Amino acid sequence: TAAPSHSVAEEERRARANDREYNEKFQYASNCIKTSKYNILTFLPVNLFEQFQEVANTYFLFLLILQLIPQVSSLSWFTTIVPLVLVLAITAVKDATDDYFRHKSDNQVNNRQSQVLINGSLQQEQWMNVCVGDIIKLENNQFVAVREVALQGNKSLPLFLADRNEETNMKVRQAIPVTSELGDISRLAKFDGEVVCEPPNNKLDRFSGTLYWKESKFPLSNQNTLLRGCVLRNTEWCFGLVVFAGPDTKLMQNSGRTKFKRTSIDRLMNTLVLWIFGFLVCMGVILAIGNAIWEHEVGTRFQAYLPWDEAVDSAFFSGFLSFWSYIIILNTVVPISLYVSVEVIRLGHSYFINWDKKMFCVKRRTPAEARTTTLNEELGQVEYVFSDKTGTLTQNIMVFNKCSISGRSYGDVFDVLGHKAELGERPEPVDFSFNPLADKKFLFWDPTLLEAVKMGDPHTHEFFRLLSLCHTVMSEEKNEGELYYKAQSPDEGALVTAARNFGFVFRSRTPKTITVYEMGIAVTYQLLAILDFNNIRKRMSVIVRNPEGRIRLYCKGADTILLDRLHPSTQELLSTTTDHLNEYAGEGLRTLVLAYKDLDEEYYGEWAQRRLQASLAQDSREDRLASVYEEVESDMLLGATAIEDKLQQGVPETIALLTLANIKIWVLTGDKQETAVNIGYSCKMLTDDMTEVFVVTGHTVLEVREELRKAREKMMDSPYAVGNGLPCPEKCSSAKLTSVLEAVAGEYALVINGHSLAHALEADMELEFLETACACKAVICCRVTPLQKAQVVELVKKHKKAVTLAIGDGANDVSMIKTAHIGVGISGQEGIQAVLASDYSFSQFKFLQRLLLVHGRWSYLRMCKFLCYFFYKNFAFTMVHFWFGFFCGFSAQTVYDQYFITLYNIVYTSLPVLAMGVFDQDVPEQRSMEYPKLYEPGQLNLLFNKREFFICIAQGIYTSVLMFFIPYGVFAEATRDDGTQLADYQSFAVTVATSLVIVVSVQVALSASDTINHFFIWGSLAVYFASPLTWELSRGEQGRPRLPLASPGNAQNTLAQPTVWLTITLTTVVCIMPVVAFRFLKLSLKPDLSDTVRYSQLVRKKQKAQHRCLRRVGRTGSRRSGYAFSHQEGFGELIMSGKNMRLSSLALAGFATRSSSSWIESLRRKKSDSASSPGGGADKPLRG
Amino acid sequence: MKRTSEDGQSKLPDNTALKQQQLPAYRLQLSATGVLSCFFATGVFCLGMGIILILSAKSIKEIEIKYTKICGNCAKLREDATNFDKECTCSIPFYLSETMQVKGEREEIQAYTFLFTVSSCIQDVGNCAPFSKSHDGTPIAPCGAIANSIFNDTIILSYKLNSSIPIKVPMLRSGITWWTDKYVKFQNPSSINLSSAFAGTTKPPCWAKPVYELDGEDPGNNGFLNDDFIVWMRTAAFPTFKKLYRRLNRIQYFIEGLPAGNYSFNITYNFPVTRFKGEKSVVLSTLTWSGGSSLFLGLVYTVTGAVTWLASFSMMAVHLTLKDRKVLFIQQ
């Protein structure tokens, strides 16, 4: 992407409003986005320059230059230049199309309209003309063009920002208070504040700056800024001051790929090319020495007929020249088309991924996308999958599932066996039609709860009242009765929605009130305080005054935290609720404990005072507040809720399948241990069949080490390991540990906590941790930070030499996605940051099995086969020159026609091999899902490694030997059937070339499996035989060929000879038969799994055998679940800060008269109404 | 960057067999019966072919006379390049014990020489170096190292009918080149006569006569269209090679071929080989459908056939012993 325009690192940024002249001094980047690399004029030079930076291309350029030296030239110039130009052209076309699309999208973005305040009036400007320091006006649903500081919002509302098109995950922003009062445009036009802030960077969630205006300073934080690429929502308009434009914006700073990933095959290929190059030099040296000797022994006496070149004065120098000549001739062992072919194949595979209907998510209408086209075959070698939990394994959609109200559990009536009943088996859901405000999408299956509500059970009422009051959800009412909730976390939304359906409808809120429709009656509570959630407190409370004037604190929070704070009088209730909690947690539900506390006026007054002091404190404000909160939150237990974090479709099956394919799955989540373990169980990562699940929760280095040691001891289960291995981590090398641990029998799992992980990742313990973890079938790391995620991936990557894949959906997975060999982004609820950083993206976790087991496996297989055949065919082709060298005085004479040399790699044999690389399928896709073990060769890197490479090379050399010596033996003595000479140079060339093309084609055909592939194989062969004909047919006047052909009639004269055909047949038979025999024996003696699968498929076709199905394992067990709230603070502060707190204008329109304008009035009215409400709320007509 | 805001339905991938990778597969199944029968068939074919080839090669009658040593004095004369204008002939008598029966169309005489191949091409003047121009700068026609090294011995075969008068065996010069070479590849420059066409050029250094005077008897056999020249220009692939010199004209006594009796080769020895330890031979040979006598092809075919049979038997043995095990494995 484009670089910032200023070369010197910017230390701070200054932008003065409405002063373009002042801002121009700094030469900040303009808002014109340029992601394209070339324009029409620069394309050719720049693109060529880039292409020649590739070693391979430069190497061929070097060869081309060598060929221009007449003493060295052994081939015509076109044998090198044609392939080189072809390769360059293909790459250039690809680059040009890419750039064309970039130009198009740049233009589209740059020409978007925005309203800019120029000379006191709003004017339409194109995005690219917006400058730093401009004031622009944004309207609802508009894209933010630049990074800007919000100066003024619509009636000082909080601004909502949505990530591109996502409806969920809104971010709240607010305008700077001082500028909010500026009012109309004319005053804004005179605004001359100056913003001084940090230089451009790519941290999305951080911003610090200061606004200098009227000789005072105002702090600016991330809360005040709008990000480029976001959409303004729920706000009619807002004014903003442009701070960063174009390439300096955070979106653009983040969009560049940080690291270029290479596959292991790439690296292997580079090594091999180096080796081949070494081999080439060796051959050149041998032949050069041969040439020197020959010239010395024979050539000197032969000079009457074959004098040396003028430049050549000795046999030695002649040898030196012939070395270079041979380098040119033999260069085809390092084929120029290798790299471009590999790219083409990968591109093809990427398209197959994009095109795959089975990876298309109908619900979201998103196809899978291969965002990188260079990693495909590595998908077939994955050994470790690192997965995020929320949004990846789970849908991140929370559903209110069960609850326990004062000792009675609701919601699980139909679960006799303790199993979650399937959707189809459930009876009708509870009918909420009594409640016009109910959310139609909410489903609940236990009618007893609704009955309890209708009966007016005070506990149940209090329970739902709490749920409708104690939250930071915002409501929006687009039409009367059409409520929409905007929640910071899906958990909260689920709870408030549940309360809404059970007749406690949270309708609206103002900074100081909350209006709830309790069984149809509007009740307005005075909101005294929100004690907001944070990660340490793990609970939130509200203090409200009900219409009767009673002050009550409602609290909800994590069970572990809250149960300790309960009033001792509720012991009995406590134990029942704990039982319920255990039960819920055992089903993998996210639990939450609810409690309340009555406060008297006096106490509250005093407490509020202390709270105010704490909040005004300059230092350690957080701690002080926490302790003040702590004091008031000791509660009476009310009940518990259980929210189902719905697993994504097909997750357990996918995980089971991947496990069978020997892929180890590590879940790295920010969630609590209990939640993570539960999800682990519900998605079958952990099963009750497991021998043991180790839990590492140590807080100190020693504890962690001890826990890891114990785990290993148990796994090894033999006394010698205790004294031998572990107290001395330095001595026992990782190799030894691995060997011991790999032999571990039984299935183990490891659960490690974030703080333990921090110790385990330290340099002296990381190996221990790694070996322990790798011996386990499943690993769950909970409470990990994004950085730790990346560290874990890095650790495995560094020490295991295995291919790692990270999959996640959120911004916190980006580091992990970028670190792993392959990053997969789930395009889901949490925006697109993970997708932007990923190499592959799709919208459901279950597609991973298809990506790996089908596409990955095939890609790897195809790439390996391609490389094998590619090296094979080039060695078979080139080595013939080597053997011929011994018969032509090492004179660098080629065996083949120049045309054949030119076309061999780009026409005659490239397409079959390429088609094999793109289309080959060893077994149908269903089989690779049925037999996950088929994935293993990739993990073990069996199909293309150094050994396989040498086998290919050996086969190639074997072929070349036969290809040369059989025709040699025949031609040496034989004559044509008319008695003329058979052994002329050109006939020999045609014979060798023909048998070579046939042998190579047949070799490919032997393992080709696809119609297209066969088409290309036989098509290429046909082209080979047709090409001399074309030259023949192109003969014009006087029978002379129009094309410059060195030897007209060569091919047909040669191929008309029975002897030649007998030779070709013999060569083919001798080259092919051993291969067939070897394959047949291997099939009989040591068949691959894929061979067996194919064979059994044949057998099955006759037998109609049954399908193997994955057994669904039912799970029982009891674990503790926890309060898995969102990890950010809610809207609490914002709500209580008062002046910013308004509903969206639409909601206001419907409500302004009733509640927000004069809440006291309605409060007074309510007081009289609700005198009778505790008893018979349900019987009251709606709306008092 | 290729984000389009089109309707989601259009993002649904096409349901074509190509895009969904559902094209029908044709994989070569290495089934036991297929492979084994293929091996047996190949074995039979190779063995049969080998035997036929060996038999036909055996049926060929051939006489090879190496005349470098026999004409030793001539060879010595030619070692000194200054003697290029001195003629030297040598006569080699030999006895043909049985008639060289002609089965097919023609009888032939072949000349073996020993030489190293050089890449060059008469049409490509750029590759003619170092024989493109003479010392004084006139272009050489035909240029190039190959043309320069033309084989210029003259061989005449005579038959002593009654042990007294030798009869010159009638030989044909025609039909010893490829049609394409004679009528497409090589063409004389168009002019009134050849000598004017080649005016301004000089003969290659090793040649005794200029290119337009190669054949004194037949004026149509001169210039680039000279048959011997064309034969020579079809470069040999290997250092040891034989080229067709003449074929028998089956008239008079020779309708049935060469009758048994006393013959002699009369060779005008021009081409020097002893300098580079080369050898020259003259060969008389009959022909079969597969060309001249080459045991190599027949032998390799026979060996291949035998090995293929052996392999197929051992493969069958392996297959039969493992058959039961495999069935068990599949049934699991």
Q: How confident is the model at residue A1047 (pLDDT cuts 50, 70, 90)?
A: low
- Give A1098's contacts in chain B (Cβ within 8 Å): 29
* A610 annotated binding-site participant: no
Pick from A469, A640, A492, A616: which is nearest to A543 by CA? A469
ω into residue A1041 within 30 of 0, thus cis? Answer: no
Q: How far is A868 from chain B (nearest CA, A)?
A: 18
Distance CA A513, CA A260 (A): 54
Q: Is A1094 on the interface with B (CB under 8 A)?
A: yes
- Give A367's contacts in chain B (Cβ within 8 Å): 11-13
Pick from A133, A116, A119, A120: which is nearest to A21 by CA? A133
Q: In sequence order, what DSSP letters do the residues of A250-290 get, joined into one string?
A: HHHHHHS-------HHHHHHHHHHHHHHHHHHHHHHHHHHH
Closest chain B residue to the Cα of A926, Cα to Cα: B22
Structure tokens at A769: 């941790």
Hey, which residues does A394 pair with through a beta bridge? A647
Helix (H) or strand (E) holding A1021: helix A1011-1033
Q: Is B187 on the interface with A (CB under 8 A)?
A: yes
Closest chain B residue to the Cα of A107, Cα to Cα: B1
Fold of A383-392+648-714+745-820: Rossmann fold (3.40.50)
- Give A974's contacts in chain B (Cβ within 8 Å): 290-294, 296-297
Q: What is the pLDDT of residues A836-870, one digit of tens each?
A: 778 898 888 889 999 999 999 999 999 999 999 99
Say yes or no to pLDDT of A1067 above 90: yes
Contact A356 B318 (CB under 8 A): no
Q: Is A1058 on the interface with B (CB under 8 A)?
A: yes
Measured CA distances, B228 to A1041, B151, B270 (Å): 24, 8, 14
Structure tokens at A34: 């340029």
What is the reported pLDDT for B119? 32
Say yes or no to pLDDT of B5 above 50: no
Amino acid identity of residue A213, one-letter, is W
Q: How far is A986 from chain B (nearest CA, A)?
A: 8
Distance CA A521, CA A1184 (A): 5
Instruction: Return the minimum-mean-pLDDT range out of A7-11, A272-276, A601-605, B258-262.
Output: A7-11
Distance CA B162, CA B165 (A): 7
Fold of A401-414+425-646: Calcium-transporting ATPase, cytoplasmic domain N (3.40.1110)
Query: Which letter, b or e, does each residue of B171-191 get, where b requires 16 or more Cβ atoms within 10 Å of its Cβ?
Result: bbbebbbbebbbbbbbebeee
- Give B172's contacts in chain A (Cβ within 8 Å): none
Q: Is B14 on the interface with A (CB under 8 A)?
A: yes
Pick from A805, A800, A816, A898: which is nearest to A847 by CA? A805
Say yes or no to pLDDT of A412 above 70: no
Q: What is the mean pLDDT of chain A?
A: 77
**What average pLDDT score do residues B122-151 get?**
68
Question: Is A747 buried (19+), middle (13-18) or exposed (0-12) by CB count in 10 A?
Answer: middle
Pick from B170, B232, B185: which is nearest to B206 by CA? B232
- Give B18's contacts in chain A (Cβ within 8 Å): 1012
Length of chain A: 1184
User: Is A378 or A1139 the better-scoring residue by pLDDT?
Assistant: A378
8 A C-beta contact, residue B160 and residue B261: yes
For the A13-18+27-31+130-255 domain, the top CATH level (class) is mainly beta
8 A C-beta contact, residue A669 and residue A775: no
- Give A1010's contacts in chain B (Cβ within 8 Å): 23, 25-26
Q: Determine phi and psi for A717, rounding to 5 degrees.
A: 55, 30
Contact B289 A1058 (CB under 8 A): yes
Q: What is the pLDDT of residues A207-251, one digit of tens each?
A: 777 788 777 777 777 667 777 767 676 667 777 888 777 766 655
- Give B178's contacts in chain A (Cβ within 8 Å): 980, 1049, 1053
Strand A216-221 to A208-213 pairing: antiparallel
Closest chain B residue to the Cα of A854, Cα to Cα: B21
Give A296's DSSP letter.
Answer: H
**What average pLDDT score do residues A718-736 get?**
42
ω into residue B130 within 30 of 0, thus cis? Answer: yes
Closest chain B residue to the Cα of A35, Cα to Cα: B1
What is the reported pLDDT for A717? 63
Contact B291 A975 (CB under 8 A): yes
User: Is A1104 or A997 the better-scoring residue by pLDDT?
Assistant: A997
Say yes or no to pLDDT of B34 above 90: no
Distance CA A178, CA A224 (A): 12
Catalytic residue among A99, A163, A388, A922: A388
Which candidate in B172, B184, B270, B327 is best for mutational testing of the A interface (most A CBs within 10 A)? B184
Q: How confident is the model at residue A876 (pLDDT cuts 50, 70, 90)?
A: very high
Instruction: Return the minimum-mean-pLDDT range out of A260-274, A1045-1059, B92-106.
Output: B92-106
Q: Where are the alpha helices (DSSP H) in A1104-1179?
A: 1132-1136, 1145-1151, 1159-1169, 1173-1176
**What average pLDDT score do residues A633-654 get?**
81
Measured CA distances, A478 to A444, A489, A1142, A1149, B272 (Å): 25, 21, 15, 9, 109
* A184 annotated binding-site participant: no
- Give A322's contacts in chain B (Cβ within 8 Å): none
Residues 880-899 of A with CB under 8 A from B: 887-889, 891, 893
Say yes or no to pLDDT of A139 above 80: no
8 A C-beta contact, residue A147 and residue A243: yes
Q: What is the pLDDT of residues A46-60, one digit of tens each?
A: 888 888 877 777 888
Q: Is B93 on the interface with A (CB under 8 A)?
A: no
Q: How confident is the model at residue A1135 (pLDDT cuts 50, 70, 90)?
A: low
Instruction: Return the minimum-mean-pLDDT range out of A215-229, A762-776, A1002-1016, A1036-1050.
Output: A1036-1050
C-alpha torsion angle, residues A375, A380, A385, A391 (rounded to 10):
70
Distance CA A14, CA A3 (A): 20
Closest chain A residue to the Cα of B5, Cα to Cα: A165
Which candidate in A352, A1047, A1079, A1097 is best for mutational testing of the B interface (most B CBs within 10 A)? A1047
Which candidate in A108, A257, A306, A988 is best for mutational testing of the B interface (most B CBs within 10 A)? A306
Out of B244, B304, B311, name the one closest to residue A980 (CB): B244
* A290 annotated binding-site participant: no
Instruction: Return the minimum-mean-pLDDT range out of A490-499, A980-989, A1046-1055, B219-228.
Output: A1046-1055
Out of B8, B11, B145, name the one closest to residue A306 (CB): B145
Contact A981 B183 (CB under 8 A): no
Measured CA distances, B272 to B65, B143, B148, B151, B239 (Å): 17, 20, 13, 9, 16
Other C-beta atoms lying within 10 Å of the C-beta of residue B194: 21
- Give A919's contacts in chain B (Cβ within 8 Å): 21, 23
User: Is A1044 or B63 the better-scoring residue by pLDDT?
Assistant: B63
Instruction: Return the minimum-mean-pLDDT range out of A83-97, B204-218, B221-235, B315-329.
Output: B315-329
Q: Active-site residue A388, yes or no?
A: yes
User: Is A586 or A905 the better-scoring residue by pLDDT?
Assistant: A905
Residue with tokens 């250094």: B205
Q: Is A1034 on the interface with B (CB under 8 A)?
A: no
Q: Where in the sequence of chain A do the CATH 3.40.1110.10 domains occur?
A: 401-414+425-646
8 A C-beta contact, residue A574 and residue A628: no
Q: Is A1022 on the interface with B (CB under 8 A)?
A: no
**What average pLDDT score do residues B164-175 get?**
80
Out of B183, B291, B300, name the one closest to residue A982 (CB): B291
Amino acid identity of residue A263, one-letter, is T
Query: Which letter, b or e, does each residue of A809-836 get, where b requires 16 or more Cβ atoms within 10 Å of its Cβ?
Result: bbbbbbbbbbbbbbbbbbbbbbbbbbbb
**What average pLDDT score do residues A696-700 get?**
84
- The alpha carbons of chain B give a radius of gyration, in whole angstroms, of 31
Q: In sequence order, what DSSP letters do the residues of A415-450 get, joined into one string?
A: -SSSSPPPGGGS-PPP--TT-TT--TT-----HHHH
3-state secondary structure of A1083: helix
Length of chain B: 332
- Give B59's contacts in chain A (Cβ within 8 Å): none
What number is the ipTM of this complex?
0.89
Residues 63-82 of A with CB under 8 A from B: 70
Residues 509-548 of A with CB under 8 A from B: none
What is the reported pLDDT for A1045? 53
Contact A979 B23 (CB under 8 A): no
Distance CA B301, CA B50 (A): 4
What is the reported pLDDT for B324? 66
Question: Is A337 buried (19+), middle (13-18) or exposed (0-12) by CB count in 10 A?
Answer: buried
* A789 annotated binding-site participant: yes
**What average pLDDT score do residues A163-187 get?**
61
Distance CA A1039, CA A1053 (A): 16
Q: How confident is the model at residue B123 (pLDDT cuts 50, 70, 90)?
A: very low
Distance CA A519, CA A502 (A): 8
Hey, which residues does B168 pair with through a beta bridge? B158
* A1183 annotated binding-site participant: no
Contact A980 B178 (CB under 8 A): yes
User: Is A610 or A262 the better-scoring residue by pLDDT?
Assistant: A610
Contact A1057 B291 (CB under 8 A): yes
* Alpha-carbon torsion (A553, A554, A560, A564), positive or negative: positive
Instruction: Return the minimum-mean-pLDDT range out of A114-123, A512-521, A742-751, A1114-1123.
Output: A1114-1123
Q: Is A945 on the interface with B (CB under 8 A)?
A: no
Percent of chain A topping pLDDT 90: 11
Other C-beta atoms lying within 10 Å of the C-beta of residue A762: 11
Contact B276 A1010 (CB under 8 A): no
What is the reported pLDDT for B44? 94
Amino acid identity of residue B265, one-letter, is F
Helix (H) or strand (E) holding B248: strand B240-248
* A1 annotated binding-site participant: no
Contacts of A118 (CB under 8 A, 6+ apart): A125, A134
Percent of chain A topping pLDDT 70: 79
* A669 annotated binding-site participant: yes
What is the reported pLDDT for A866? 93
Structure tokens at A716: 């090894």
User: Is A534 or B257 the better-scoring residue by pLDDT?
Assistant: B257
* A590 annotated binding-site participant: yes
What is the reported pLDDT for A1085? 81
- Give A1008's contacts in chain B (Cβ within 8 Å): 26-28
8 A C-beta contact, residue A312 and residue A72: no
Instruction: Return the minimum-mean-pLDDT range out of A386-390, A448-452, B5-9, B306-310.
Output: B5-9
Structure tokens at A575: 């134990």
**What average pLDDT score do residues A737-762 get?**
75
Q: Where in the sequence of chain A do the CATH 2.70.150 domains occur?
A: 13-18+27-31+130-255
Q: What are the CB-based long-range contacts (under 8 Å, 24+) for A1154-1158?
A: A1154/A522, A1155/A507, A1155/A508, A1155/A510, A1155/A513, A1155/A515, A1155/A522, A1155/A524, A1156/A508, A1156/A510, A1156/A513
Residue with tokens 């009796």: B261
Closest chain A residue to the Cα of B297, Cα to Cα: A970
CA A975 to chain centre: 66
8 A C-beta contact, residue A679 and residue A1132: no
